[in-house]
Structure 1
């Protein structure tokens, strides 16, 4: 589980920020080390999306940095750009994780040339143990770092613009039994479990990869969300097609003509070798169920379907799901349903986590007298006068004794993180538009 995420000098975030998922309110029936859901609220361009982007950047750099190294080109990072000092200063990324009940801390710092620092610690019996520390191209190993000679050899071939964790993971695929300790593998594998959806959009290939007929848990969760959304879908069934059947959808006719007969021949040969499973969506009509293809569903339904599949996979297999602007795809009641799936013990036995951004103040309220989000599951993003973003939790504000209408207080600006709207500027813009239209017609 993700306990906290710290980062600095990334996009609109200049100073170090921390998204802390450690529960503020613990009870005997909820002894978990981290909350399962976090929602980040704020105005447009406040930095909400950039917070998720920072975590997504860290994930990508961990998984791919050893393969995307280009000698002499440095690191493609995105520092805060509004001050010249920040352009040269390092960017920092740190996660605190609970893996198999043991805390791990992994982080690194980058500048324009490469990796400045990198480190990994774990805390068996609540005592910090160093796995490794890196300062530029110099490494220090802990007493529990396993086969130090092997680690030193891998460190020697780690590029200055690549992470040691990325390099050792690639080596680990070839020598699965040769590398210790487990913290190196476990942390790398955690990053692989992150699902990041910036503006969730359904992609046919993503659904084709789902073991729909074999994983009943995923199937049940997706169908439950579709039914709850009231989009008219009552069931999802699997059909078999070939590449030739899908050719008109994959390649427009103009492109087929341009490619000529050779392209059609390749498609025909592929169709004979590789039949594909496709999903059809059952709608209930007066005469019974009618099957629709994905392309016949609305854009909103397609977006919902992609999000539902991602959520079902994370809930089934474990991991962390990040969704930017979750309200762009879902009605507030459906978003509350999705949040409830992640918070429920029976629907989320693997303690998967959901981190999302939203403008929807309704998610700060209640449904049927039940709060959608607890106080320690709500965060805000706001920009200061210098254009630098900050993150802060709702728990920084004391709850009112007589009851707290969070939705109203947020919209009234009591928590900040709302747009500073200028009626005067709106009126000026409309007046200027009117003058342009008058000049165009005269």
Structure 2
């Protein structure tokens, strides 16, 4: 679960900005939106982020996605290398900071990383005391200007002889100045690094990010192997009244799928499958259809999603994913997201949640999640859809705004900062510019665009 996120000198974030899911204590509405952690520490299950085009709200999710890639794949993404705040002093302001506080398996953590010209200058992981007791260091890593790295770990680790041998080997052979060590330490079989494994699993598994270009992942496999999920997915999609009758998995043996003309490609996929930690490989054709390669009962299968509609005479007709509308594909992507957020302690970040979806439909989806008192996960999203600004669905501290200041830097602030009454029409206030974070519209007449007409 996410507690807070801090970003500095990244994309449109100039000075340090913080996004948090900690509830405002003065607010008493929608109390079931608060999850109680240890020592009566609470976090919120929903957050929406509004802002004009170019205000930087998507940059919050983009920043998190890039650092997730950096940590999980152990490489600096290309976009991260060119991501400094460009309205600052680029020659002087080299350091970029990313810090996050989160909960994994009931344990709160704090993780921070500082990049300096794409060198990881500092990296640290602590057991968080949530501001009520001291944080406990799990590791600290520093890299100097000569690109020499030092690591400090827990007292128990440092006093253990075998662990010291492990540390020496890691520093000599594996630690690189451009690569985080969180994953490296999490993969070691050492009893003093158990909490590091937990922390890494938050980035690797708990955190899920859906961008506007995302496609449904492993949906065919889940539908084929999980009857409860198949029923849930069909119930959801059929309730939207978009013509879908059922969801099915088309299943072929790998030899049949690739044929005799693609033996080399097939061999590469089999090799990748054998090395996959999840025993699954995802493929996409040039039309955007996903196929999942899995090994079951000693045989390798390729599964693809089939979407069944009925024509006017009631006859079933099968469609591939690329034949569906953008809105249908987007909804299919949301099916596992909402399912997981309801039943598991997952954290979903969704950029432009309303994209290609009717406003009434997305509001009804969020209403169901908002009013459900038994949810376990978090849903955090960006949107332009003012129809969602409803205090029956969101607490004031769950509504955030992104707006650029005079220096072109993104500022983040919550509706709860305005101390509005719980009965006020916040949608009307937002559209009237009461909270900022809306586009400044010029007078179209003054643009004189007819002067550019040509014969």
Q: Return the match for 1:56 from 40, 45, 65.
A: 65
TM-score, normalised to structure 1, is: 0.81
CA separation in 2, counterparts of 1:243 and 1:202?
Answer: 23
Report if aligned partners of 2:4, 2:18 keep a CA contact under 8 Å in 1.
yes
Q: Which residue of 2 aligns with 1:277?
A: 303
Matched with 1:99 is: 104
Distance 1:263 1:87, change over 3 A: farther
Cα distance, 1:391 vs structure 2: 0.7
**1:436 counterpart residue number:** 452
Structure 2 CA distance for aligned equivalents of residues 199 and 59 of structure 1: 17
SS in 1 for 2:236: helix
How far, CA to CA, are the matches of 1:186 and 1:264 in structure 2? Answer: 41
Q: Which residues in structure 2 correspond to 1:227-376 (within 5 Å)?
A: 227-241=238-252, 263=261, 275-288=301-314, 290-294=316-320, 295-313=322-340, 315=342, 318-340=345-367, 342-343=369-370, 348=375, 351-365=376-390, 371-376=392-397
In structure 2, the residue matched to 1:39 is: 48
How many Å apart are 1:246 and its aligned residue? 6.7
**Equivalent residue number for residue 417 of structure 1:** 437
Q: Unaligned stretches of 5+ in structure 1?
A: 248-260
- Are residues 1:8 and 2:24 paired? no
The 5 Å alignment of 1:159-174 reads: 159-169=176-186, 172=187
- For 2:396 and 2:241, the matched residues in 1 are separated by 29
How far apart in 2 are the matches of 1:395 and 1:302? 34
Secondary structure at the counterpart of residue 308 of structure 1: helix
Relative to structure 1, the CA distance from residue 378 to residue 335 in structure 2 (aligned partners, 3 Å threshold; closer, same or farther) is: same
> CA shift at 1:376, angstroms?
1.6
* Offset from partner CA, 1:384-414 (integer Å, 9 cap, x none): 111110111111011137x210100000111
Shift in alpha-carbon separation, 1:142–1:74, aligned structure 2, 3 A: farther
Structure 1 CA distance for aligned equivalents of residues 244 and 122 of structure 2:
51
CA distance in 1, matches of 2:87, 2:31: 47
Q: What is the SS of the residue equivalent to 1:61?
A: helix
Q: Where does residue 445 of structure 2 map in the other structure?
A: 427
- For 2:374 and 2:245, the matched residues in 1 are separated by 20
Is 2:206 the counterpart of 1:180?
no
- 1:381 matches 2:416: no
Provide, for residues 117-175 of structure 1, a one-character-per-residue CA deviation record: whole Å limited to 9, x for no partner. Answer: 11111047944211112222222223354754134542443111111113223xx1xx5
Q: Give aligned pairs, total.
A: 403
Unmatched tracts of structure 2, length 5 or more: 37-41, 144-148, 270-292, 294-298
1:9 deviation in Å? Answer: 0.7
CA contact under 8 A between 2:252 and 2:301: conserved in structure 1? yes
**Per-residue deviation at 1:57?**
1.4
Whether the aligned pair in 2 keeps the contact of 1:201 and 1:302 (CA below 8 Å) is no
Correspondence 1:131 to 2:138? yes
- What is the TM-score of this pair, normalised by structure 2? 0.78
